[in-house]
Structure 1
Amino acid sequence: MRHQMRAEFGAEGASGGVRLWHMVRGEDSVAMCGRELAADGPVREAVDWGRTPELCCHTCGAYFLREQPYLAAEHP
């Protein structure tokens, strides 16, 4: 399943910028933590998780890691 990051805005809305990044499944606008997000809000690739100046949702991160297949080490 493909995941992507989706932005949550603060009290000022989009004009106030991104408050927190969440993880969603596919193109969904409901975060893995259950928060409803703006369907037309900014998105980023899942590989950007933890690489943004804004914080990422801890709960979404935990669920996301549990859904990712275990990647074996490339070196024996």
Structure 2
Amino acid sequence: MEHEIRAEYEEGVLPHEDTPVKLWHMTRVGTTTAMCGRELAPAAATQSADAWGKASAKPFCRQCGVMYLGEHPPS
């Protein structure tokens, strides 16, 4: 299953390229529901799942991280 990282913004803030990200979440490609269950904006910024653990994907949702590791344990 393919994954991507999707941004969450402060409530009431519309996604825009310079909008600060509140938290990054892991989603399955093509969906806006994070692995933790949070619904994210369809227009939210995304990153490749390869960015997980890197500075560009921080702060990251801990619950999404745990669930992602459950599907993709480190080698």
Calculate the TM-score normalised by the size of structure 1: 0.81
Q: What residue is the counterpart of 2:10 in the other structure?
A: 10
Aligned length: 71
Q: What residue is the counterpart of 1:25 in the other structure?
A: 28
Q: Which amino acid in 2 is paired with 1:66?
A: G
- Say which structure is richer in strand: 1
- Say which structure is richer in helix: 2
Alignment partner for residue 44 of structure 1, among 36, 47, 64? 47
- Percent identical residues: 39
Q: Which has the greater radius of gyration?
A: 1
The CA distance in 1 between the partners of 2:3 and 2:26, in whole Å, is 7
The CA distance in 1 between the partners of 2:22 and 2:61, in whole Å, is 10
- The answer for unaligned runs of 5 or more in structure 2 is none
- 4+ residue runs over 3 A deviation: none
